[in-house]
């Protein structure tokens, strides 16, 4: 049963008709980032199963989960989500869309990532931990007023960065495939080894 860390990557691939950034088990080392939005500091994801014919089935409840709102500081932020068990076809892939907004849950899509075809029949129930590297930027302008006074207008912007050891945005405990059954325990009745119950 694979239990993986899946990294938000900056390169793209096409899976089941969708061209999107790759969500793979390693980083490319080439940094990527989304646009920096004014006063939108909350991040979250939605999750879909994408079938070979291009249709999709949402796993999340119709809104972003694993939501985390960043402070006025750059760094890694994390949140968890309890992924439910879902049946898959071997040709299915998982699509992750990232959202950013000033509200919870965030509703403005800023990017999408897709795995390879997973070649399994189940997405396991597991608690995912989603890590967002958020870059914070501050700027200001000075506006002069007719009475010769002035006001300072501040701008706070956040963007999502990924795909390097510094911008280490990822999903941990991404779990799929059925664990192999445990071997049967042999029980011996009496002293005779010939009487074995499995």
Which of 17-21, 37-41, 174-178: highest mean pLDDT?
A: 17-21
- Percent of the chain residues past pLDDT 90, beyond the cut: 77
3 or 196: which leads in pLDDT: 3
Q: What is the pTM of this model?
A: 0.86
Interior/surface letters 82-114, b for 16+ CB within 10 angstroms, e for the rest: ebeebebeeebbbbbbbbbbeeebbeeebbbbb
Task: Give Cβ neighbours of residue 14 (< 8 Å, ≥ 6 apart).
Answer: none
pLDDT in tens, 100-132: 999 999 999 999 999 999 999 999 999 999 999
Say if strands 3-15 and 18-24 run parallel, antiparallel, or are unpaired. Answer: antiparallel
- pLDDT over threshold 50, residue 157: yes
Cis peptide before 105 (omega within 30 of 0): yes
- pLDDT over threshold 70, residue 183: no
pLDDT in tens, 132-148: 999 999 887 877 778 77
């Amino acid at each position: 049963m694979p239990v993986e860390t899946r990294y938000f990557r900056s390169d793209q691939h096409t899976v089941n008709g969708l061209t999107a950034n790759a969500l793979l088990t390693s980083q490319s080392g080439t940094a990527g980032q989304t646009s920096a939005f004014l006063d939108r500091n909350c991040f979250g994801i939605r999750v879909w199963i994408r079938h070979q014919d291009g249709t999709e089935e949402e796993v999340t409840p119709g809104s972003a989960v694993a939501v985390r709102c960043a402070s006025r500081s750059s760094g890694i932020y994390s949140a968890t989500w309890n992924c439910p068990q879902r049946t898959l076809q071997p040709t299915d892939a998982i699509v992750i869309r990232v959202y950013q907004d000033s509200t919870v849950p965030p509703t403005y899509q800023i990017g999408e990532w897709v795995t390879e075809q997973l070649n399994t029949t189940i997405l396991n129930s597991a608690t995912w931990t989603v890590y967002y590297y958020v870059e914070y930027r501050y700027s200001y302008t000075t506006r002069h007023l007719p009475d010769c006074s002035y006001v300072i207008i501040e701008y706070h912007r956040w963007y999502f960065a990924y795909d390097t050891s510094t911008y280490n945005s990822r999903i941990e405990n991404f779990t799929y495939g059925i664990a192999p059954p445990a071997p049967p325990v042999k029980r011996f009745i009496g002293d005779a080894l010939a009487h074995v119950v499995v």
